[in-house]
Amino acid sequence: MRKRAIAILLTAFCAVALPPHVHAKGLWDSIDVRIRMGYSIGGTVPLDMPTSIRSLDAFRPTPSPMAGADATVWVSPRLGFAAGLHIENKGMDAEVTVKSYRMEMRQGGSQMAGLFTGHVKQEVTQWMVTLPVQAIASLGKVLTLKAGPYFSFLISKGFSGIAFDGYLRQGNPTGPKITIGDEEGEWATYDFRDSMRSLQWGIAAGVDWCFSRHLGLSVDLGWGLSGVFQSDFETVEQTLYPIYGTLGLLYRF
């Protein structure tokens, strides 16, 4: 009953496209259901590091668990298609040194915008429901390869931090200079969560290794293609993409 309930939710879209021999064999006999739990490590980063970011001074992975299920419909002994439902977080804490980096920030009760030179700490949190759709290739009873697109719906998001130990040229490179200190009360804060996308998409690939009849390990890499901010958001000049690897444990029904 558990297998059937999960499979109904995750593979209904495949049923209408199955070849005749799968229907003859029996739909449920052609479905492989796997429950997953894992932990992700990665970052929300530009593909090319802009010259305004001079150095990465610190990087701290934040708790980024993943849990979900996937159902594979085998259309031949070696090939299949899978759909999944995952709940996950893609988080990151980082500190960078910047020069003439475009920023909007708040210091005290004042909102400011311009080019900042100094240090920036940022915290990124993205809790989401992810729907992967993948092609599956079996390499025997132990290994399976998988790759395909994913779509993520954010249920909680955050992109905030502080700017400190530097100065802001308000408006343009020759604008008024505003000193940003390195003590609490002297630094400036920013929060861009309202400009983040609620729907993201990308591609993912990975491998499952089943070391017993029911248990296995998985390694996956997800590469965002949409960027984390809305297209009309211009404060952060470069597009930031979520790129995360996940190591997981799976249970196969």
The structure's pTM equals: 0.83
Looking at domain 2-252, its CATH architecture is: Beta Barrel (2.40)
Phi-psi category of 140—alpha, beta or left, where left has phi over 0 and alpha has psi -120 to 50?
left
**H/E run at residue 124:** strand 110-138
Looking at residue 155, its pLDDT comes to 96
Which pLDDT band holds residue 146 (cuts at 50, 70, 90)?
A: very high
In sequence order, the 6+-apart residues with CB closer than 8 A to the CB of 16 are none
* Exposure string for 125-155, b = 16+ CB within 10 A, e = fewer: bbbbebbbbbebebeeeeebebbbebebebe
Looking at residue 10, its pLDDT comes to 47
Query: In this predicted model, what pLDDT tens digit does every residue of 216-227 receive, in sequence order?
Result: 999 999 999 999
Looking at residue 174, its pLDDT comes to 86
